[in-house]
Amino acid sequence: MTTTEKTPGRRESKVQLRLAVRIVVLILIAMGLTHEACAQELRVAAASDLQFAMPELAAQFEKQSSVRLNVTYGSSGNFFSQIQSGAPFDLFFSADVEYPHRLVSSGIAEPDTLFQYALGQIVIWVPANSSLAPERDNWKALVDPSVQKIAIANPEHAPYGRAAVAALKKAGLFDLVQPKLVYGENISQAAQFVQSGNAQAGILALSLALSPAMRDGKHWQIPSDLHPPIQQAAVVLKFAPDPHAARAFLEFLKTSSARATLSSFGFQIPNAPAVPATPAHH
Amino acid sequence: MLAAQFKFSRFPPGPSLFALEVSLQVPAGITILFGPSGAGKSTLLDCLAGLQTPQQGRISINEHVLFDGPTRLNLPPQARRVAYVFQTLALFPHLTAEENVAYGLAGLPRDTRTARVREILQAFAVEKLRHRKPAEISGGERQRITLARSLVTQPRALLLDEPLIGLDAHTKSAVIDDLRAWNASRKIPILLVTHNREEVSALGEQVIALDHGQVVSEGTPLEVLETPRRRRLAQAAGFENFLRGTVADLREADGVMRVRLSDTACEIEVPLGYASAGDAVCVAVRAGDILLATHPPHSLSARNVIEGKITSLESQGTLVQARVSCAAGPSIEFLVHVTPGAVRELELAAGQRVWLVLKTHSCHLVEN
Amino acid sequence: MEALLLSLRLALCVSAILLVLGLPLARWLAFTHWRGKFLLEALVALPLVLPPTVLGFYVLLAMGPRGPLGKLWQLFFGHGLAFTFEGLVLASVLYSLPFAVQPLVASFESVDRKLLDASAILGATRWRTFWRVILPLSFPGVITAVVLSFAHTLGEFGVVLMVGGNLPGITRTVSIDIYDRVQALQYPEANRLALILLLFSFVTLSIVYAVNRRVAHDLAQRLWAPWAAK
């Protein structure tokens, strides 16, 4: 037929090539199919102070829709940097409204989805076996001589830290306690410092103080007029594979049952009658 | 006088199961410790020096007891004052010759130390090398410096593990002469290990032969080398032929006995030994003790003339090794050494019919 | 800049301490025959595989008022160990331990055993053998140990994060500072600090390796040997 006859080896490799291509195509189809399945899952980046409230909210939402939530907890600042570099999240729950604002202005987030889901509250917290009694002595607990270290979140980038510093200044105590301050990378690390006993007291998020691990400690909620509001906001990200489901979750958060859940975990709900943050059983 | 009698065993996971059981006395002067590799010579020295500990026994030099099993006395090497020169010398590479030699004198005041070091370097003729590092010194001079390092501490005994390896004959004798000269005044026991026959003969002192962890013979070099008791020792002493056979006949009057080799008709006459007719024996003969003739010899004093055929000729430098099979029993092969000149003149070649001549007293009975 | 100086101080302290602690530990590991030695070796190597945050977490607990380290420190100094420079030094020493000990052990083991035997036979105690024979011949290993522990501590982040408390001038090392700047979106600042750290580390390491091993070795021996021979 042709001048050069293909050697048996070359014919074999042609067959192998065709087989390889078929396998790759099958894999791609399979991936596409599973991708379809993944679309039913929402990837959420959430500030660490939501780690107790979010599972509850997710469970409620999953019951009424077929959407599963895959939540990652961490510091808002970290998430911000990652999202800016293209981290594939659908939703971002930030402890500081500043980050979602920036994401919107840089075009990475959907402007109309920006939603302030809660106002953070700060408390003075000490472990159960501490000799201090902030619920009775309020600010005075911090100036007790037995307090050598006070843990707060880093005010340079954590909203709870900034609020703590602002409140201390308003209460006229900042200069006095400043030498004793130690800074956690985020509010969770600050909590860790106090829980391990390395710091004798801390200014932490109310949501953390109410969490199972810290519930048995003693705390006093610092009046919210002493510090700028800790506006916690969520936003849908532009490259979310399923923006519809993401928006649906945010809509769910505006319902009264979701708000009630949030407030029971220590978040004050904006534009709602002030709900006493201290739960009845304390 | 160094007296040692001890048992030492090493169980796996060491290299292999090994047992050393010795009883020996080393008087002042040079004593040779001779034996094949694996006999336990280095281990014996290690035990004497304190680098290894025997399970039981006693080691002492004159009145100083170094090791005593019953009283659990075991002096560490630092306290024994036994000098030990390793085969690898182990000169400290980062120190000069002078610093190496001074190493063992650390406790002395500086002036005494320097004086002693200079003195011994001069005695061993290496004074001019004192600022050199070991890497810049070669051969016999390194040996000398190592000896100087060991002897400057005025030890009670000296152990040498193959100290002359790698040296040419001239250097060997020079090093030994220096050592003898040094010991003439000090008179300490010196135990020198070697596996080299020539050294044993050349040094000519008392010899202790060691094999498989046991002392197999003691005496003069001649005694130890010429009448080996064990086959391995025989190999170390230069026997190439080991012939198995059975005692056919005893001739007490002549002082000989006839041995039939293997199951053949070949018989040889060997000196009378402690054996009876029918005993299995092993006869060792040196390849250099066998004569080769291309015609059947007659009127010879030698009692053993064996007809055979050359199966191969192999040149080994200054001699030629011939393999000759026995006509009466082709399974028996003799190794014979001949000179290249003889090969040429007699026109020896493989396949040639020859006659082997063995003197009775060149045949030695050895243990199986 | 304060953070960089702090990091340097920390790295120097830790390297010095690790040298003092590492030498006897490495000597024991290199020359002792004990059936249980492998356990200690694994323990020393643990920080190599443990995430720094895990180590930091346990150190934090140990430093707390209920922990063994914390109680001891409180007894002597009347205040806690966490959030102090000393606390960082302790945590860093634990974390960089294998980087100092392992090169030392490897170096000691490579010394010809016969030299050690010779030294003993010539009457030297084990201590003297270590100082006059083993150490001079292991100098490259010592240099490696110091350089590695210095470099490793300089770049440390996870452990410092866990136990430091981020106090400027005390526990805010340059790696924490860079992280903070990034968190606070101060990218130009972060970049500047990172670049300084990178250049500094690179230059330091280059100098150490460029000074030809042989040269450093010879120099060290020339300085050491006269003393060793005494």
- Give tens-digit pLDDT for C104-126: 999 899 899 999 999 999 999 99
Q: Which residues of C touch B149 (CB under 8 A)?
A: 122
Instruction: Measure the CA–CA gap between A216 and A162, rounded to whole angstroms.
Output: 26
Gap between the Cα atoms of C157 and C10, Å rounded: 12
Q: CB of B302 within 8 A of CB of B316?
A: no
Chain A contact present for C140, CB below 8 A: no
Q: For residues A199 and A182, is the Cβ–Cβ distance under 8 A?
A: yes
How far apart are the CA of A42 and the nearest CA of chain C, in angstroms? 25
Q: Which residues of C touch B78 (CB under 8 A)?
A: 120-121, 123-125
Instruction: Check if the beta carbon of residue B364 is closer than 8 Å to that of residue B281.
Output: no
Q: Distance, in angstroms, between B277 CA and closest chain C CA? A: 54
Q: What is the mean pLDDT of chain A?
A: 84
pLDDT, residue A1, reads 41
The whole-angstrom separation of Cα B52 and Cα B159 is: 14
Closest-CA residue in chain B for C112?
Answer: B90
pLDDT in tens, A233-268: 999 998 887 888 889 999 999 898 899 999 888 888
* pLDDT surpasses 80 at A98: yes
- Cα C118 to Cα C124: distance, rounded to the nearest angstrom: 9
Q: Edge to edge, what strands does the sheet with A181-184 contain?
A: A181-184, A150-153, A201-205, A122-126, A218-221
The CATH class of the B2-236 domain is alpha beta
- What span, in angstroms and rounded, lies between the C-alpha atoms of C154 and C12? 9
Please state the ipTM of this predicted complex.
0.77
Q: How many alpha carbons fall within 13 Å on the CB side of residue C133?
A: 27
The nearest CA of chain B is from the CA of C18 a distance in Å of: 26
- Beta pairing partners, A119: A231, A268
Across the interface, whether the CB atoms of C128 and B106 are under 8 A apart is answered yes
Place of tokens 């800790």: A230
Chain C positions in Cβ-Cβ contact with residue A132 (cut-off 8 Å) = none
Q: DSSP string spanning B91-149?
A: --TTS-HHHHHHGGGTTS-HHHHHHHHHHHHHHTT-GGGTTS-GGG--HHHHHHHHHHH
Please report, for chain A, the start and end positions of each structural domain, with discontinuous segments joined by +.
Answer: 38-119+231-264, 122-221
User: Both tokens of residue A157?
Assistant: 């980038």
Nearest to A161 by CA among A75, A234, A223: A75
The partner residues of A109 in beta bridges, in order of sequence, read: A237
The whole-number pLDDT of residue A273 equals 44
Examine the pLDDT at A277 and tell me if it is beyond 50.
no
pTM: 0.68
* Alpha carbon separation from C178 to A56, B358, C155, C191, C192 (Å, rounded): 36, 94, 11, 8, 9
Distance in angstroms (rounded) separating the CA atoms of residues A19 and A26: 11
Q: If pLDDT is split at 50, 70 and 90, which confidence band does A10 have?
A: low
Q: Are B297 and B357 in contact (CB under 8 A)?
A: yes
- CATH for A122-221 is 3.40.190.10
Q: What pLDDT is attached to residue A37?
A: 47
Partner-chain residue, chosen from A156, A185, A197, that has the shortest CB–CB distance to C161: A185
Q: Are B128 and B56 in contact (CB under 8 A)?
A: no
Chain A residues near residue C182 by CB distance under 8 angstroms? 77, 81
Asked if C184 is an interface residue toward chain A (Cβ–Cβ < 8 A), one would say yes
Given the structure tokens 């889901």, which residue do they identify?
A: A117
A154 to C180: CB separation less than 8 angstroms, yes or no: yes
pLDDT per residue as tens digits for the range C154-194? 888 888 888 888 888 888 999 989 988 887 778 898 999 99
pLDDT at B47: 92
Domain B241-366 fold is OB fold (Dihydrolipoamide Acetyltransferase, E2P) (2.40.50)
User: Mutate which of B87, B94, B149, B153 to test chain C, going by most C C-beta atoms within 10 A?
Assistant: B94
Q: For C131, which DSSP code?
A: I
- Given an 8 Å threshold on Cβ–Cβ distance, is B102 in contact with C229? yes
Both tokens assigned to B215: 């002392």
Amino acid sitting at position A197: G
CATH 3.40.630.30 fits A38-119+231-264, yes or no: no
Give A279's pLDDT tier (boundaries 50, 70, 90): very low
Q: Are the C-beta atoms of B116 and B103 separated by less than 8 Å?
A: no
Q: Provide the residue count of chain B.
A: 368
pLDDT at site A201: 94
Out of C80, C166, C185, closest to residue A198 by CB: C80
Contact yes or no for C165 and A185 at CB 8 A: no
**How are strands ordered across the β-sheet holding B73-74?**
B73-74, B64-68, B56-61, B2-10, B18-26, B214-219, B206-211, B29-34, B189-194, B157-161, B82-85
Which band of pLDDT confidence, cut at 50, 70 and 90, is reported for residue C218? low
CA C196 to each of CA B297, C3, C4, C27, C106: distance values in angstroms, whole numbers, following the listed order: 99, 11, 9, 37, 33
Contact B154, B43 (CB under 8 A): no
Q: Would you list the DSSP string of A87-154? A: ---SEEEESSTHHHHHHHHTTSB-GGG-EEEEEE-EEEEE-TT-S--HHHHTTHHHHSTT---EEEE-
What local confidence, expressed as pLDDT, does residue B12 receive? 61
Q: Which of B88, B94, B150 sits opposite C225 (nearest CB)?
A: B94
Is the Cβ of A159 closer than 8 Å to some Cβ of chain C?
A: no
Domain boundaries, given as residue ranges, for chain C: 2-228
CATH number of C2-228: 1.10.3720.10
With a cut of 70, list the residues of chain B below it in pLDDT: 11-17, 204, 226-237, 273-274, 367-368
CA distance B188 to B177: 15
Q: Which DSSP helix (H) or strand (E) runs through A176? A: helix A174-177
Tokens of B149: 């390092």
Predicted confidence band at A204 (pLDDT cuts at 50, 70, 90)? Answer: very high
Exposure string for C46-81, b = 16+ CB within 10 A, e = fewer = ebeebebeebbbbbbbbbbbebebbeebeeeeeebb
Closest C-alpha to A112, from A121, A104, A103, A120:
A104
Pick the more confident residue, C36 or A26. C36
Per-residue pLDDT at A166 exceeds 80 = yes
pLDDT score of B95: 92
Retrieve residue B223's tokens. 């005694």
| Tokens matching residue C26 | 């490495």
A197 in contact with chain C, both atoms CB, cutoff 8 A: yes
Confidence of residue A274 (pLDDT cuts 50, 70, 90): very low
Yes or no: say if A269 and A262 are a contact pair by the CB < 8 Å rule. yes
Query: What is the pLDDT at residue A4?
Result: 45
Interface residue C221 vs chain B (CB under 8 A)? yes
Q: Is A234 in contact with A91 (CB distance < 8 Å)? A: yes
C85 in reach of chain A (CB within 8 A): no
| CB-based contact C121 B82, cutoff 8 Å | yes
Taking the CA of residue C122 as centre, how many other CA atoms within 13 Å lie in the half-sphere pointing to its CB? 33
Mutate to test the interface with C, among B53, B78, B108 (most CBs of C within 10 A): B78
Helix, strand and coil percent figures for chain C, each rounded to 5? 80, 0, 20
Per-residue pLDDT of A105-125, as tens digits, reads 998 898 988 989 999 899 999
Q: Is residue A199 over pLDDT 50?
A: yes
Shortest CA gap B163–chain C (Å)? 15
Judge whether C7 and C154 are in contact, CB under 8 Å: yes
**Shortest alpha-carbon distance between residue C207 and chain B (Å):** 25
With b for 16 or more beta-carbon neighbours within 10 A and e for fewer, the A37-50 pattern comes to: eeeeebbbbbbbbb
Q: In the structure encoding, which two tokens stand for residue C114, read together?
A: 């016969």
Question: Out of A157-161, A196-200, B209-213, which region has the weakest mean confidence (pLDDT)?
Answer: B209-213
B251 class by beta-carbon count within 10 Å (0-12 exposed, 13-18 middle, 19+ buried) = exposed
**pLDDT for residue A278:** 39
For residue C38, the one-letter residue type is F
**Is there an interface between B and A (3+ Cβ pairs < 8 A)?**
no
Asked whether the beta carbons of residue B90 and residue C225 sit closer than 8 angstroms, the reply is no
| Backbone φ/ψ region at C51: left (φ over 0), alpha (ψ -120 to 50), beta | beta
Q: Report which secondary-structure segment, H or E, holds C30.
A: helix C2-31
Q: What is the CA radius of gyration of chain B?
A: 25
Q: Tell me which H or E stretch contains B219.
A: strand B214-219
C125 and chain B in contact, CB less than 8 A: yes
Do A and C touch, 3+ Cβ pairs within 8 Å? The answer is yes
Residues sharing a CB contact under 8 Å with residue C191, sequence separation 6 or more, in sequence order: none
Provide the residue type at C66 as one letter: R
Give the chain B residue nearest C222 (alpha carbons).
B94
Q: Which carries the bigger pLDDT value, residue C26 or residue A77?
A: C26
Locate all alpha helices (DSSP H) within C34-134, ordered by sequence.
Answer: 37-49, 52-63, 68-77, 85-109, 113-121, 126-129
For residue A111, what are the contacts with CB-CB under 8 A and spacing of at least 6? A104
pLDDT band with cut points at 50, 70 and 90 for residue C214: low
Distance CA C6, CA C18 (A): 18
What dihedral angle (degrees, nearest 10) is formed by the CA atoms of C175, C180, C182, C187? Answer: -90
Instruction: Return the SS3 of C215.
Output: helix
